[in-house]
Amino acid sequence: MKQILKVPLACLAVSACLALGGCLQRVPPPSTGDMPADAVSTIAEGQDPDLAAIQEARIAFAYPARMYGRPGEMALAVASLDAMAGQFTTSGRWAVMASIASDEMLDARTEVRGILGIPQSAPSQSVIDQLMAASYALDAGDQKAALAALSGPDFTKTPAQTLAILAHFPPAPTANLALMDAENDFFPQDSPW
């Protein structure tokens, strides 16, 4: 007669969770960068910079026509999306975020980088730094410095082409959806806020 081993149900549950956890981790983790501390200080004074960056990016990608002729603001929105896409997956701060939202943000980063001609292999921090340098230069009215910031290996299009796209960014439905879902994670519809 075969003997059946009785394994406590709790042990099976823990084993299943550990097995699934190992399958769900991204290897290697996505490239992650940080926004400059003052990136949104003029538009969101006193707010959490990461949440303010997500809100600004959400508005930019939800209403692309509103951003026409505002390449500096669009560069800020793209940098914000690039940064937060990596952070949602790698930073402990966002561990409670729904995994679908973090996956959508990585898909959004892929879509937006494709529009701008930024290779998927480009390091996030380098992309953020160049986009923010362009944004700061455009805010200061220095188009020459903005074009210089948009040159280099992280951009496959000419600086003039990249600047033209930022000035008339096309609709990016994946980015729009991802940013709406991410914002809903932060500020649920049934929240008292």
Are 130 and 149 a contacting pair, CB within 8 Å?
A: yes
pLDDT of residue 43: 58
pLDDT of residue 130: 97
Average pLDDT in the chain: 79
- Between 58 and 26, whose confidence is greater? 58
**Omega before 123 within 30 of 0, i.e. cis:** no
- Asked whether the predicted pLDDT for residue 193 surpasses 50, the reply is no
> Tens digits of per-residue pLDDT, 83-93?
988 877 765 55
pLDDT of residue 16: 42
Single pTM value for the model: 0.78
Q: What is the mean pLDDT of residues 163-170?
A: 97
Q: Hey, is 69 helix, strand or coil?
A: coil
Q: Give residue for tokens 């200061």.
A: 140
> Tens digits of per-residue pLDDT, 96-154?
665 667 789 899 999 999 999 999 999 999 999 999 999 999 999 999 999 999 998 89
Task: Indicate the domain borders of the chain.
Answer: 31-186
DSSP 116-137: HT--TTS-HHHHHHHHHHHHHH
- Asked whether the predicted pLDDT for residue 181 surpasses 90, the reply is no
- Asked whether the predicted pLDDT for residue 190 surpasses 70, the reply is no
Q: What is the mean pLDDT of residues 161-172?
A: 97
97: phi then psi, degrees, rounded to nearest 5:
-65, 145
DSSP 8-class letter at 64: G
pLDDT of residue 29: 73
- The percent of residues in the chain predicted with pLDDT above 70, rounded, is 70
Q: What is the mean pLDDT of residues 35-52?
A: 66
Token pair recorded at residue 142? 């220095």
Least confident segment among 15-29, 136-150, 166-180: 15-29
pLDDT of residue 22: 40
pLDDT band, very low/low/confident/very high, at 79 (cuts 50, 70, 90): very high
Q: What is the mean pLDDT of residues 149-176?
A: 96
